[in-house]
Amino acid sequence: MPEFRSPFLEGVYRHMITHGYSKRTVATYIYWIKYFIRFHKMRHPIEMGDTEVEQFLTFLAVDRKVATATQGLALNAIAFLYNKFLEKPMGNVRGYRPASRQRKLPVVLSRAEVSALLSQLEGTHLLLASLLYGSGLRRIELVRLRVKDVDFNQLQLRVWFGKGSKHRVTTLAPELVPALRRQIRRVAFTLETDLANQQYQGVSMPEALARKYPHAARALNWQYLFPSSALSLDPRSSALRRHHLDESSLNKLLRKATRDAGIDKEVTCHALRHSFATHLLESGTDIRTVQEQLGHQDVKTTEIYTHVLKRGAKGVRSPLSGL
What residues does 244 pair with on adjacent strands?
227
Given CA atoms 114, 24, 292, 177 in this order, what sign does their dihedral have? positive
Give mean pLDDT, residues 144-166.
Answer: 90
| Percent residues over pLDDT 90 in the chain | 66
Catalytic position from the list 236, 274, 279, 296: 296
3-state SS, one letter per residue, for 194-238: HHCCCCECCCCCCHHHHHHCCCHHHCHHHCECCECCCCEECCCCC
Q: Is the pLDDT of residue 144 over 70?
A: yes
Decide whether 7-85 matches 104-313 in CATH topology. no
Phi–psi pair at 296, nearest 5 degrees: -80, 135
State the CATH class of domain 104-313.
Answer: mainly alpha
State the CATH class of domain 7-85: mainly alpha
215 backbone dihedrals φ, ψ, rounded to 5°? -100, -5
Q: What is the pLDDT of residue 24?
A: 83
pLDDT per residue over 35-44, tens digit each? 999 999 999 9
Please determine, for residue 307, whether its predicted confidence score (pLDDT) is greater than 80: no
| 104 catalytic residue (yes or no) | no
What is the pLDDT, as a whole number, of residue 322? Answer: 63
Is 163 a catalytic site residue?
Answer: yes
Instruction: Categorize the per-residue pLDDT at 299 as very low, low, confident or very high, splitting at 50, 70 and 90.
Output: confident
Per-residue pLDDT tens for 11-31? 999 999 888 788 888 999 999
Where along the chain do its domains lie? Answer: 7-85, 104-313
Per residue in 182-230, pLDDT tens?
999 999 999 999 999 999 999 998 877 878 888 899 999 999 999 999 9
User: Residues 40, 48: contact at Cβ < 8 Å?
Assistant: yes
77, 256, 267 from 259: Cα distances, Å: 36, 5, 10
Q: What average pLDDT does the segment 278-287 reach?
A: 89
Confidence of residue 103 (pLDDT cuts 50, 70, 90): low
Mean pLDDT confidence for 124-133: 96
CB 145 within 8 A of CB 203: no
Please report the beta strands in the chain, taking only residues with DSSP state E, as ranges in sequence order.
Answer: 150-151, 156-159, 168-171, 232-233, 240-241
User: Is 19 marked active-site?
Assistant: no
**For residue 316, what pLDDT band results from cuts at 50, 70 and 90?**
low
Residue 205 has what pLDDT? 87
pLDDT of residue 113: 96
Per-residue confidence (pLDDT) for residue 313, from 0 to 100:
47
132/314 Cα distance (integer angstroms): 24
Of the listed 40, 158, 163, 168, which one is catalytic? Answer: 163
pLDDT bin (cut points 50, 70, 90) of residue 67 is: confident
Q: What share of the chain is helix, strand, coil (3-state, %, to 5)?
A: 55, 5, 35
Give the least confident one: 36-40, 69-73, 151-155, 160-164.
160-164
DSSP codes joined into one string, 14-39:
HHHHHTT--HHHHHHHHHHHHHHHHH
CA dihedral 70, 278, 157, 226 (to 10 degrees): -60
Active-site residue (options: 139, 144, 273, 274): 273
**Exposed, middle or buried: residue 298 (CB in 10 Å: 0-12, 13-18, 19+)?**
exposed
Cα angle value 21/22/23 (rounded, 5°): 120
Residue 224 phi/psi, 5-degree rounding, is: -65, 140
Percent of the chain with pLDDT over 70: 93
Is 168's pLDDT higher than 80?
A: yes
Cα angle for residues 269, 275, 278 (degrees, 5° grid): 145
Among the listed residues 29, 133, 138, 139, the single catalytic one is: 138
Q: Any catalytic annotation for residue 273?
A: yes
Torsion of CA 209, 211, 217, 223, to 10 degrees: 10
pLDDT at 318 over 80: no
**pLDDT of residue 320 exceeding 60:** no
- Listed ranges 161-165, 206-210, 221-225, 301-305; the one with the highest mean pLDDT: 221-225
